[in-house]
Amino acid sequence: MKRLLVTGASGFVGGRAAEFYQGKYEICAPSHREMDITDEGSVYAVFERFRPDYVIHCAAISDIGSCDREPEQSWRINVDGSRNMAKASKRYGAKCLVCSSDQVYQGSGGKGPHREEECIEPRTLYGKEKKKAEEECLRENPECVMLRLSWMYDVDRENRKGHGDFFTGLLSGLKDMGTVRYPVYDVRGITDVNEVVENLEKAFELRGGIYNFGSPNDRNTYETVLAMFEGLGWDTGRIERNEEAFAEQPRDLSMAQEKLNACGIVFTSTVEALIRNGKVREEFIHKWYV
């Protein structure tokens, strides 16, 4: 059985990846106490002991506000920690996938969908850290696969760990306020995390480099949620337009998929997946929220 090392297994993506591949791979999912990714020696010790064939590096500080409040700490984790994982993977011959973000495109200007080879100038510290991590990982280990992930969700959230996501935010808004507001000046893909996790195994076969890795979407967020409600037959009167957010600097983080598709990995479009997942969980959703 091949060996798979997963970092960030207490988080949204890493936890699901460790669970999904259990039984297919021998899994090592060390806690921070067991492996401090900011400490090169600690990382090498785990690699020496476990000898992974594959690595999925999900550990990160992904909250933009947390990065701004503790920039030195977030840099150590998001940049130095990622570089350490890439270096160790090269030394021990493991294929390494590193989770990056569509946030690297914020500040690039221009309309998407954005391509991997674009010149990017991220506006947020988190985006800057992810860009630097991409550069450092590929410099240390050109066989690293950098996956630019989008905003994600999981409709099956009962008893599951992880931060708030698109779907829980939507449902909480409906429950608490009765209506939800979404921006018209914000375009980005929104992806089912389970589809991300299932496609990670295919990504083991990718050549080193950067790949957009999420559902395509050319609608703004308000239009996206509206199309979802229409597709599910829900009351569209409960959705309101937010014309203030991003009005001064419209944001388009949508990602082109041609490079990934050419390698045989295809994601369901955002609206199609939202409608599909909404139908699967419709009884639960209507009972508690809609």
Angle at 206 between CA 204 and CA 210, to 5 degrees: 110
| pLDDT (0 to 100) of residue 35 | 97
3-state secondary structure 24-44: CEEEECCCCCCCCCCCHHHHH
**Residues 14 and 59: beta-carbon distance below 8 Å:** yes
Measure the CA angle with vertex 6, ends 164 and 263; round to 5°. Answer: 90
**Which residues are registered as beta bridge partners of 177?**
none
Task: State the Cα–Cα distance between residues 146 and 205, nearest whole angstrom.
Answer: 13
Taking only the tens of pLDDT, the chain with its 290 residues reads 999 999 999 999 999 999 999 999 999 999 999 999 999 999 999 999 999 999 999 999 988 899 999 999 999 999 999 999 999 999 999 999 999 999 999 987 778 999 999 999 999 999 999 999 999 999 999 999 999 999 999 987 554 555 557 877 888 888 888 889 999 999 999 999 999 999 999 999 999 999 999 999 999 999 999 999 999 998 999 999 999 999 999 999 999 999 999 999 999 999 999 999 988 877 766 665 55
**pLDDT attached to residue 156:** 74
Token readout for 18 is 């460790």
State both tokens at 268. 């369901």
Under 8 Å between Cβ of 228 and 271: yes
Q: Is 154 helix (H, G, I), strand (E, B) or coil?
A: coil
CA 92 to chain centre: 26
The confidence score (pLDDT) of residue 157 equals 58
Contact 114, 256 (CB under 8 A): yes
- Domain made up of 3-152+190-213: CATH architecture: 3-Layer(aba) Sandwich (3.40)
Per-residue confidence (pLDDT) for residue 168, from 0 to 100: 79
**Hey, what are 4's tokens?**
């798979």
Omega prior to 113 cis, within 30 of 0: yes
The whole-number pLDDT of residue 50 equals 98
Domain segments of the chain as ranges = 3-152+190-213, 156-188+217-254+269-288
Query: Distance between CA atoms of 153 and 204, rounded to whole angstroms?
Result: 23
State how far the alpha carbon of 9 is from the alpha carbons of 31, 156, 193, 273, in Å: 7, 18, 14, 25
The pLDDT value recorded for residue 159 is 45
